[in-house]
């Protein structure tokens, strides 16, 4: 369970801000074959994970993205596919659609209940703006044992602008902060700071523990539009 939960959360923390300019969105990719590579480093800046994203299909109001996760040795860990939907003034991602298919396969013979609210991102972001919370509750019932995973994204705010340089280039970014509360037996809260560029997406992200110490960072290392 821990392996798949880690993969699921990894995809949330990176893909909720993977973006490229399109007809319906200023940020999420609505153009086929857009590719991004996000490299994640630990608190000592040692490469930990690489996530590759590809926009595989685009319709009038929906883009389908696939992701592949590799460890620091280049070995495949897991993949996933999810949809990004237009909502009139931006895009919306269903938490449920981001769950790794391998995780679902593991529990196919058990009762699985998933509820929650979408992750919304408006087309227009300005400093001081507050964004809506998002959440997901997942309960896996195997008879005598019931496992629960609760995830909540909250306190989402636009806090400023900054120019950021990565191996993929130099970008004018807007900065988002938010907190993720995870409960799976024990409760854990992670604080996030993300730098987002229009037409590109997440350029940089940093995660912090409750003491304010950085626990990892994510960098856009490749981008193909």
Count up the domains in the chain and report the number: 1
pLDDT average, residue stretch 125-135: 94
Query: Which SS3 state, helix, strand or coil, does residue 68 take?
Result: strand
Average pLDDT, the chain: 82
Looking at residue 5, its pLDDT comes to 43
pTM: 0.81
pLDDT average, residue stretch 58-82: 86
| pLDDT per residue as tens digits for the range 102-113 | 555 566 667 778
Interatomic CA distance for residues 156 and 210, integer angstroms: 16
Looking at residue 123, its pLDDT comes to 86
Is-contact 131 105, C-beta < 8 A?
Answer: no
Interatomic CA distance for residues 109 and 101, integer angstroms: 14
Interatomic CA distance for residues 70 and 95, integer angstroms: 22
**Structural domain harbouring 197:** 2-224
pLDDT average, residue stretch 85-97: 77
**Closest listed residue to residue 34, CA positions, set 17, 60, 68, 57:** 57
- Going from the C-alpha of 144 to that of each of 25, 36, 98, 105, 123, the distances in angstroms are 45, 43, 27, 20, 46
Token pair 């995830």 is found at: 151
| pLDDT per residue as tens digits for the range 153-191 | 999 999 999 999 999 999 999 999 999 998 888 888 999
Any idea what the CATH number is for the domain that residue 141 is in?
Answer: 2.40.360.20
Looking at residue 204, its pLDDT comes to 95
């Amino acid at each position: 369970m821990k392996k798949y939960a880690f993969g699921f959360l990894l995809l949330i923390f990176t893909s909720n801000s993977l973006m490229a300019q399109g007809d319906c969105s200023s940020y999420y990719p609505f153009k086929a074959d857009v590719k991004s590579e996000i490299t994640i480093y630990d608190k000592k800046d040692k490469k930990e994970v690489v996530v590759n994203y590809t926009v595989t299909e685009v319709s009038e109001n929906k883009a389908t993205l696939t992701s592949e996760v590799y460890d620091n040795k280049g070995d495949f860990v897991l993949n996933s596919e999810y949809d990004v939907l237009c909502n009139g003034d931006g895009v919306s991602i269903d938490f449920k659609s981001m769950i790794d298919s391998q995780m679902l396969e593991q529990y196919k013979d058990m009762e699985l209940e998933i509820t929650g609210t979408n992750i919304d991102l408006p087309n227009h972001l300005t400093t001081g703006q507050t964004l809506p919370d998002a959440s997901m509750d997942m309960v896996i019932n195997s008879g005598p044992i019931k496992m629960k995973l609760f995830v909540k994204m909250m306190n989402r705010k636009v806090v400023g602008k900054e120019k950021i340089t990565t191996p993929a280039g130099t970008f004018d970014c807007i900065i988002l902060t938010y907190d993720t509360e995870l409960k799976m037996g024990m409760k854990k809260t992670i604080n996030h700071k993300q730098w987002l560029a229009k037409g590109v997406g997440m350029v940089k992200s940093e995660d912090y523990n409750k003491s304010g110490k950085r626990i990892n960072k994510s960098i856009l290392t490749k981008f193909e539009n």
